[in-house]
A and B are shown apart, each in its own frame.
Chain A
Amino acid sequence: MKQLILKELSLCLHPTSLIFLSFAALVFVPNYPYEVIFFFSGLSVFFTCLTVRENGDLAFTAALPAPKGAIPLARMAVTMGFQILLLALVGALGALKAALLPAELLINEAGLSANWALVGSGALLLGAFNLLFFPRYFRRPDRVGGPFAAAAAVLFLLIGLLIALRWTLPLFSVTLNGSNAEHTGAKLIAMAAGLVLYAGLSALACLLSVRRFLKTDL
């Protein structure tokens, strides 16, 4: 698995995987739907999968001495590594913003503020993307567009739902909004719930992807 992950990093990774990590800095933009940051993570996965298709990567990798089932796991492990890095960056840059700016500027009029709850909702979005994209992609790895379009559509629906909740439910507009210093417990619970959901959805995505890829003809 280690060799496969190193191969993914050296031969398969699309530059946008690194570039889109920097989009975590969008949390400094006032009144911006920060949930969109997590969509870019999915977009980089799409570019990577397009690139590996054009490079014939799966046929190359299948001839290597590694179990076939490990191939999707390695790609997903690398993706999840970047996703976790993105979540950490959003959390860290949100905390930095809170340390630098006055509390009233932390209220986000377009969605959730850059706080622990945003990390939780981001984790939920990324977990949903993993489950929606990878199992469909690994069933037919030559077709990247369909699985991505489906995953992106659901992702934007979820982002829209989260923004709507921020305007309709006090839980989202008050409790989970604003600085981490207020309603800290609720925000930490939201983050923990999001991370647990992320782990569960991603694990399910791994299981389904491996099962489908083993039946895929390369």
Chain B
Amino acid sequence: MRALREDRPDLADEPPALSVRRLGKSYPGFTLDDLSFEVGRGRIAGLIGRNGAGKSTAIKGILRFISARGEVSVFGQEIALREREVKQMIGYVGGGFRFYPLKPLAAVRRAYARFYPRWDPAKYAACLSRFGLDEGKKVRELSEGMKVKFALALALSQGAKLLIMDEPTSGLDPLSREEFCDIVLDLVRREGITVLFSTHITSDLERIADDILYLFRGKLLADCPLKVWQSRYWLARFPSPERAAACSAIGVKPVREGFEGLLLRENLADPPPFPVFEPSLDALMIHLEREQENGL
């Protein structure tokens, strides 16, 4: 599949919140292949892909946890040249808060807050109250959902303008995921924060993401607004694989009612000869991945 890239009017006038150019990293058996993308200010970008696609490696490269090739700029400032200043603007939320399990939240907060001159105690207190966090508790005493909220409270109180979240909702139950997504959406609407949100739970993104960055085996296959990506395809159901092949369906696979695959809307006759549906992100990923794997 040709990488889908759309011109993004939101990126035109000012430096984007996040600009990644030719980010690359090679491990035995895996290469992050010169990733380039931008995230506009005040947008929520979902970084998706199956396990092992390179989402975490990309985020680690952006944050310089790993020594990767390429250039990363945040609000126009290059992280390699101004690491301290740039990281002041970034709030990082990993999957849960796995650090210092035996320490009380207050001890972690004290150590953390010293690094941020713009630390806002009132905002932190408000986050604790809103999220129902007790600073006297130890990290290990928090549920997975509360750990993510604690990480979010720290990131928000430091004055972060860009939130980078690596699988923050993995391990959360559906209700906690819903609540977390509501919080993120609210933040973006009220405070104009920009979010890069890596996940393989795509239903979270369908609710809140503006843009999609789709990684497949270390390559960026799509970088466009979510709606544009979804409106590019129909999910079609066919009676047989032969009929699907005749329509050039993408990533055809058997389902209970027959066979399903994606059809490019621009190639489709009107009205469509088969039942078609709006594809979910899960469906897009499943069929596009299948097509890629068949092509390899």
Could you tell me if A7 and B87 are in contact, using CB atoms closer than 8 angstroms? Answer: no
CB distance from B78 to the nearest CB of A (A): 14
Contact A57 B87 (CB under 8 A): no
CB A39 to nearest CB in B, in angstroms, measures: 27
Q: A56-B99, A57-B100, A63-B87 are contacts. A68–B64 as well, Cβ < 8 Å?
A: yes
- Smallest CB gap from A10: residue in B: B111
Determine the chain B residues whose CB is within 8 A of the CB of A67 once the complex forms.
Answer: 83-84
Residue in B86, B92, B108 whose beta carbon sits within 8 Å of that of A11 in the complex: B108
Contacting pair B64 A62 (CB below 8 A): yes
Q: In the assembled complex, how far is the CB of residue A128 from the closest CB belonging to chain B, in whole angstroms?
A: 29
Q: Which of A6, A55, A65, A217 contacts B66 (CB 8 A)?
A: A217
Taking CB atoms and an 8 Å cut-off, the chain A residues in 104-138 that contact chain B are none
Count chain B residues whose beta carbon lies closer than 8 angstroms to a beta carbon of A.
29
> What would be 21 A-B contacts, judged by CB atoms less than 8 Å apart?
A7-B114, A10-B111, A11-B103, A11-B107, A11-B108, A55-B99, A59-B94, A60-B99, A60-B100, A64-B87, A65-B86, A65-B88, A65-B115, A65-B116, A66-B84, A66-B87, A66-B115, A67-B84, A68-B83, A217-B65, A217-B67
Besides A7-B114, A65-B84, 20 new A-B residue pairs in contact (Cβ under 8 A), listed by A number:
A3-B115, A10-B111, A11-B111, A55-B99, A55-B100, A55-B101, A55-B102, A56-B99, A57-B99, A59-B99, A62-B64, A64-B112, A65-B88, A65-B115, A66-B83, A66-B87, A67-B84, A216-B67, A217-B66, A218-B66
Seen from chain B, the residues whose Cβ lies within 8 Å of a Cβ on chain A are: 60, 63-67, 83-88, 90, 92, 94, 98-103, 107-108, 110-112, 114-116
Measured CB to CB, the residues of A under 8 A from B are: 3, 6-7, 10-11, 55-57, 59-60, 62-68, 214-218
